[in-house]
Each structure stands twice: as structure tokens, then as C-alpha cells.
């Protein structure tokens, strides 16, 4: 393990110094160490990225710096946190309040939970300025307007009067950044600030952070699980695993020659754009692109002129809601053993298309699954169709009944369709668990006993129970850490190869789409703007929106930065 670099020998004194920090969690069994001997320094004008997977200790470290550890569950056991030589870890709460916002500010991952929903943007921004600068009246209002303008929010005077729910996700995050920088802090801590944002909005926010760092002279601690973001933003990198720093250093040497196995695995697990169009190849097996559709195979799925409209219902209380087209004139087909990647940003209609394909929502147009047009079929008539088409949802935590043993959850589709007796179902469950890389003994355990990646394997096993020909995977790896995601994607490719499965693979992640797909359809505002082979869409995109999506993907190579 690479020893953490001491903070003292740097060229000049760091703005922020964390030394031998240890944090304990209170558990029923007693105190448990969750942050162990963490040391790093942040220099003036520098961006330091703290990277690692879920549970590595990134966010707990940031909360310790901010003095925001929940006292009921976490406590600093030992170590030092100093800002320009001033010790913070032992400051009383009243003194720490003046540091927070004034000297150190933080931008959290989810702005909707960070902003007060019943206060206007202007009220929240002026409250922050007034708290730390002591100004009032027109000067505060003018300062709030200047900050919204500084983060490139259009019509800032109008936005000051609006409430958080009236803003887009990207705009809410800009408001959070404006609030954090309104008092010109020396250090800005950004905890996964772009995780919930679309790729083009993410690129804008990262560029904004760099611009404001230069303009306000702040140093930045950027916490992320995305190694592409690290490569684009970091001057130096800290890699954390299980509460410890296992490696740290300047970004270019660390990416070029990582010393620790975990760092190498983390970088290898990142899907990379460019398996055909660029200079890099994906780090793992991908499906071979098809040159033409074989004439001797019938499509497993055919979609023709699909339309989905919301809001046509009427009611005495709210009156008639004007119809809102969500998906318009969408057409594609998928052959046996092939994957169509359906990609687009939030609100593009991806998930709606997936639900329509399985007959879960009303639609117009033609959807033909294994030769059967499902338009107008009753629930009873849909039952045999659903044996041929199954779905894997995004969240493996919400997809499984916490009160049902894993074996019962996997066997449930078999019981519903009356396909086997109890003994046969148990044998089938054991076989399915082995297929997805889990021991048959897992059948007696409950979902909370498994990791996120293992839960998604269980969901895949359940989807395979009926022997489907088509699987709709709706953001099925979006909630997983990068290394776990890589293993689940490998499993899906392996199952496709051995079982001849067809996938409708829905994702916002262009790199994952390129890795998994034979053909790609790009959705924007409910319409397909581009469709073609993986090679053509990624190697020679024709639509400007497709080009923008590809260009916005953070490249996990610090020598190829496009975030200025």
C-alpha cells in the first residue's frame, strides 16, 4: 500500500491539512473504526479529488472536515483538521458555524434535499449572504443577483423569485454552487456534485467549477466515484478504500502507473468510449458489431410508430389535463442474440419506451414480441407474452421484496405461471443462482444480506426464470459501483452469448452503451434522432445531439482533458 503523503513537506503550507484522521461509528456492538489514519493536504488554487467506491469513506471524511458528523452515530476519535493552521476538529459548534460557509463551503450531491422547498431561491441565497457577511437590504439582493449571474443562470432576477421545484436539476446545482461561493470561501468541498445530472449538464457544471475556482481563488476538494471526472478535474488524487487512503499523488503519474492493485482495478473497470472511433479499446469483451441483419432470423422485438401520451385523463377536481406526448413515432427492431442500446438524457422517453415494450403502460402503434402483436391484449392474454419478455430495473434495492427470501423471489414467476411443482422450482432456482455466479445456498437468505451487485444478479436470475427471449434492462447498472458494474455487464454479455438473449439496453451512459450494444438508438424529447450500428453511431455520428452526448463524456485520461 502506498503510504499517505505527509502534509508538511509540500512546497508551501497547505490551505487545508488533514492529518492522521480517525472516525468511529457507534454500533450496537460498540465503536467501529470507519475512517483510519487519513492524511492529505490541499494547496492554494488546487483541485484535489477524493475517489473511491461506495463505503470507502469519502463523504464521511468531508463531513468530518465540515464539522457535520451526526453526533449520534459518528465521532472523530483522533487526528487533526486544520485550515490555514487553525485547528478545526476541536472547535465548539458556534465557532465552527462561522467557518462553515465563510471559510469552507460545501456543495452536496442532491440539491433537492439541500435546498428548502418552501423558500424561494432568493430567500435562501440572501439568508446565506446575510449570515456570513452581515449585510442587509439592497446590498444583499444585489449580491444574490451577482452570484446567480456568476454561475451562468439565465434570467437571474426571475430565478430569485422561483422555488427549487421550478428549476431543472442542473440549475438547482448551480444555485447550490452560488450559495457555497457567495461568501468567497477559501475551500470548496463538492461531494458528488454531478452524479445525478445528465452528461451534458455534468460537463457544464464541471467547467463552471473550474471557472469559479479561478475567479474566486478557491481551492477545491472534489469527491467522486467517477474516474473520468477525476481525470478531467484533478491536480492531485486521493484513492480511498474501506476508510483508508491506499494511494495518492499527482493525477497524470497516478493514472499512468498506479501502484496499488485496487487503483489499477478501478481504472480498468471504467467503460471507455472509442472501441471503434477513438484510439482506445474497451478493457473487456464487447459484442461484435453486425454488418447487416441476417434474413434467416425473425426479430424478437419489432416496434413501429410507437406513441405514448400522458395527461389525457379528466377529473371533476382538476379538470382536463392537456395531453403531453412523451414518445413519438419510435420504430426499431432487435434480432435474437443482439442488443439495441437506447440512450438519451433525463426526460428523453427511454424508460417510457421500455415500459411500453412490456405492455406496462398504454400506447399506440405496433409492438410485436416473438411474432405476437401486444397492442390491445388483455392482462390475461399478456401472460404468455411476458414469459418471453422480462425486465431488469435500475434499483436492485427496491426491486426485491425485503420480506421474501431470495429463492422465493426467483421462483415467484414460475409459481405465477404454474410452470413447475415445488421441487422443480427449487431445482430451477439453484440452477439460476449458479448461472449468475451465486451459490445455491443463497436461496434461503434475504435481500438485505447481499451487496448491491449481488442483488442485481438476483434480479437477473429472476428475469431468466421463465426462459425469456427478450430482456429490457432499464438503467440496470446505474446504481452500482464501477467495479461491480463491470462484473454485472460481463455477466450479461456471457448470458447473451450462451442463451441467445436479446437485450433492449436502456442507459444514459454513452460508454456503457458502446460497450454493450450491437445497434444504438438515440432518443431526444421522445423521438429517435439517430439510429444505426454501434460503429456508425459512435464512429461517425450524424446528429448534433449525438455528437454533443459523445463529446460530453468525461474521458478517464488526464492527458486528454476537454473540461477547461
Report yes or no: 193 and 50 within 8 Å, Cβ to Cβ.
Answer: no
Angle at 286 between CA 282 and CA 287, to 5 degrees: 150
Residue 487 has a CB neighbour count (10 Å cut-off) of 18
pLDDT at 480: 84
Do the domain assignments include residue 453? no
Query: Which among 389, 341, 345, 354 has a CA at the least distance from the CA of 369?
Result: 389
* Residue 102 confidence class, pLDDT cut points 50, 70, 90: confident
Q: What is the DSSP string of 317-363?
A: TT-PPPPEEEEEEEEEEE-TT-EEEEE--TTSSHHHHHHHHTTSS--
Percentage of the chain beyond pLDDT 90 is 72
Mean pLDDT of all residues in 314-332? 77
Per DSSP, 172 falls in state H
Helix, strand, coil percentages for the chain (3-state, nearest 5): 35, 25, 40
Cα 459 from Cα 149, distance rounded (Å): 46
Do the domain assignments include residue 71? no
Q: Tell me the whole-structure pTM to 2 decimals.
A: 0.83
Task: Report the chain's terminal Cα–Cα distance, integer Å.
Answer: 33
Mean pLDDT of all residues in 413-433? 93
pLDDT at 187: 97
Give, for 452, the enclosing helix (H) or strand (E): helix 452-464
Do the domain assignments include residue 485? no
- Return the C-alpha cell found at 359: 405492455
Task: Classify strands 236-241 and 47-51 as parallel, antiparallel or unpaired.
Answer: parallel
Query: Which among 221, 237, 222, 231 has a CA at the least distance from the CA of 44?
Result: 221
Q: Where are the alpha helices (DSSP H) in 110-244?
A: 111-114, 121-133, 138-150, 156-160, 169-181, 199-216, 227-233
Look at 271 and 343; give whichever has higher pLDDT: 343
Residue 2 pLDDT greater than 90, yes or no: no
Report yes or no: 242 and 56 within 8 Å, Cβ to Cβ.
Answer: yes
Backbone angles phi, psi at 391, to 5 degrees: -130, 140
Q: Could you tell me the strand order of the sheet in which 324-334 lies?
A: 324-334, 301-310, 364-369, 372-373
* Residue 134 confidence class, pLDDT cut points 50, 70, 90: low
Residue 271 pLDDT greater than 90, yes or no: no
* Residue 111 confidence class, pLDDT cut points 50, 70, 90: confident
Do the domain assignments include residue 428? no
pLDDT digits (tens, 9 = 90+) for 469-509: 999 999 998 878 888 888 899 999 999 999 999 999 999 99
Mean pLDDT of the chain: 89
Residue 195 pLDDT greater than 90, yes or no: no
Residue 556 pLDDT greater than 60, yes or no: yes
Do the domain assignments include residue 122? yes
pLDDT at 492: 94
pLDDT at 136: 67
Give, for 527, the enclosing helix (H) or strand (E): strand 527-533
515 by DSSP, 3-state: which? helix
pLDDT digits (tens, 9 = 90+) for 371-400: 999 998 998 899 899 999 999 988 888 899
Do the domain assignments include residue 127? yes
Do the domain assignments include residue 369? no
pLDDT at 10: 42
Task: Classify strands 16-27 and 527-533 as parallel, antiparallel or unpaired.
Answer: unpaired
Look at 318 and 244; give whichever has higher pLDDT: 244
| Enclosing domain of residue 146 | 111-181
Half-sphere exposure at residue 24, Cβ-oriented, CA atoms within 13 angstroms: 12
Residue 131 pLDDT greater than 90, yes or no: no
Do the domain assignments include residue 541? no
pLDDT digits (tens, 9 = 90+) for 137-175: 678 989 999 999 999 998 999 999 999 999 988 899 999
Percentage of the chain beyond pLDDT 70 is 91
pLDDT digits (tens, 9 = 90+) for 351-377: 999 999 999 999 999 999 999 999 989
* Residue 313 confidence class, pLDDT cut points 50, 70, 90: low
Domains: count for the chain: 1
Instruction: Tally DSSP H helices, then E strands, for the chain.
Output: 20, 20
179 by DSSP, 3-state: which? helix
Name 182's Cβ contacts closer than 8 Å, sequence gap at least 6: 125, 128, 129, 132, 143, 144, 147
Query: Which among 168, 525, 529 has a CA at the least distance from the CA of 324?
Result: 525
* Residue 66 confidence class, pLDDT cut points 50, 70, 90: very high
Mean pLDDT of all residues in 30-38? 96
Residue 152 has a CB neighbour count (10 Å cut-off) of 15
Amino acid at each position: 500500500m502506498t503510504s499517505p503523503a505527509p502534509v508538511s513537506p509540500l512546497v508551501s503550507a497547505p490551505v487545508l491539512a488533514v492529518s492522521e484522521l480517525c472516525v468511529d461509528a457507534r454500533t450496537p456492538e460498540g465503536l467501529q473504526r470507519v475512517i483510519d489514519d487519513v492524511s492529505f493536504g490541499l494547496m492554494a488554487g488546487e483541485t484535489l479529488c477524493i475517489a473511491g467506491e461506495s463505503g470507502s469513506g469519502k463523504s464521511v471524511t468531508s463531513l468530518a472536515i465540515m464539522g457535520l458528523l451526526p453526533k449520534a452515530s459518528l465521532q472523530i476519535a483522533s487526528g487533526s483538521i486544520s485550515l490555514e493552521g487553525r485547528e478545526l476538529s476541536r472547535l465548539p459548534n458556534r465557532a465552527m458555524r462561522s467557518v462553515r460557509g465563510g471559510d469552507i463551503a460545501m456543495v452536496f450531491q442532491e440539491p433537492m434535499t439541500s435546498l428548502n422547498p418552501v423558500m424561494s431561491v432568493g430567500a435562501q441565497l440572501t439568508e446565506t449572504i446575510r449570515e456570513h457577511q452581515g449585510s442587509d437590504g439592497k446590498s444583499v439582493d444585489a449580491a444574490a443577483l451577482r452570484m446567480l449571474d456568476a454561475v451562468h443562470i439565465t434570467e437571474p432576477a426571475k430565478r430569485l423569485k422561483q422555488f427549487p421545484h421550478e428549476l431543472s436539476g442542473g440549475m438547482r446545482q448551480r444555485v447550490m454552487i452560488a450559495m457555497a461561493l457567495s461568501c468567497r470561501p477559501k475551500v470548496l468541498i463538492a461531494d458528488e456534485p454531478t452524479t445525478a445530472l445528465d452528461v451534458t449538464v455534468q460537463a457544464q457544471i464541471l467547467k463552471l467549477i473550474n471557472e469559479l475556482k479561478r475567479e474566486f481563488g478557491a481551492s477545491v476538494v472534489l469527491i467522486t466515484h467517477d474516474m473520468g471526472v477525476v481525470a478531467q478535474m484533478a491536480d492531485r488524487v486521493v484513492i480511498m478504500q474501506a476508510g483508508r487512503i491506499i494511494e495518492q499523488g499527482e493525477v497524470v503519474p497516478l493514472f499512468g502507473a498506479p501502484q496499488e492493485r485496487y487503483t489499477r482495478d478501478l481504472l480498468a473497470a471504467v467503460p471507455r468510449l472509442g472501441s471503434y472511433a477513438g484510439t482506445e479499446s474497451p478493457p473487456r469483451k464487447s459484442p461484435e458489431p453486425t454488418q447487416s441483419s441476417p434474413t434467416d432470423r425473425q426479430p424478437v422485438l419489432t416496434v413501429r410508430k410507437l406513441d405514448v401520451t400522458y395527461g389525457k385523463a379528466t377529473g371533476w377536481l382538476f379538470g382536463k389535463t392537456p395531453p403531453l406526448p412523451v414518445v413519438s413515432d419510435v420504430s426499431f427492431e432487435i434480432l435474437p442474440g443482439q442488443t439495441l442500446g437506447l440512450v438519451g438524457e433525463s426526460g428523453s422517453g427511454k424508460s417510457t419506451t421500455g415500459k411500453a415494450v412490456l405492455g406496462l403502460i398504454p400506447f399506440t402503434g405496433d409492438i410485436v414480441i416473438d411474432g405476437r402483436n401486444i397492442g390491445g391484449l388483455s392482462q390475461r392474454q399478456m401472460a404468455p407474452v411476458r414469459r418471453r419478455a422480462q425486465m431488469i430495473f435500475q434499483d436492485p434495492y427496491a426491486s426485491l421484496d425485503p420480506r421474501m427470501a431470495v429463492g422465493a423471489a426467483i421462483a415467484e414467476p414460475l409459481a405465477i405461471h404454474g410452470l413447475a411443482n415445488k421441487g422443480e422450482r427449487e431445482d430451477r432456482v439453484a440452477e439460476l443462482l449458479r448461472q449468475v455466479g451465486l451459490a445455491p445456498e443463497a436461496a434461503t437468505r434475504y435481500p438485505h444480506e447481499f451487496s448491491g451487485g449481488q442483488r442485481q444478479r438476483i434480479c437477473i436470475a429472476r428475469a431468466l426464470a421463465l426462459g425469456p427471449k427478450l430482456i429490457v434492462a432499464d438503467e440496470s447498472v446505474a446504481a452500482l459501483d464501477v467495479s461491480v458494474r463491470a462484473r454485472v455487464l460481463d455477466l450479461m454479455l456471457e448470458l447473451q452469448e450462451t442463451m441467445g438473449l436479446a437485450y433492449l439496453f436502456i442507459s444514459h451512459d454513452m460508454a456503457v452503451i458502446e460497450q454493450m450494444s450491437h445497434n444504438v438508438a438515440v432518443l431526444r424529447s421522445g423521438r429517435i434522432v439517430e439510429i444505426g450500428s454501434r460503429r456508425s453511431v459512435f464512429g461517425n455520428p450524424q446528429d448534433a445531439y449525438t455528437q454533443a452526448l459523445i463529446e460530453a463524456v468525461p474521458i478517464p485520461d488526464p492527458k486528454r482533458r476537454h473540461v477547461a
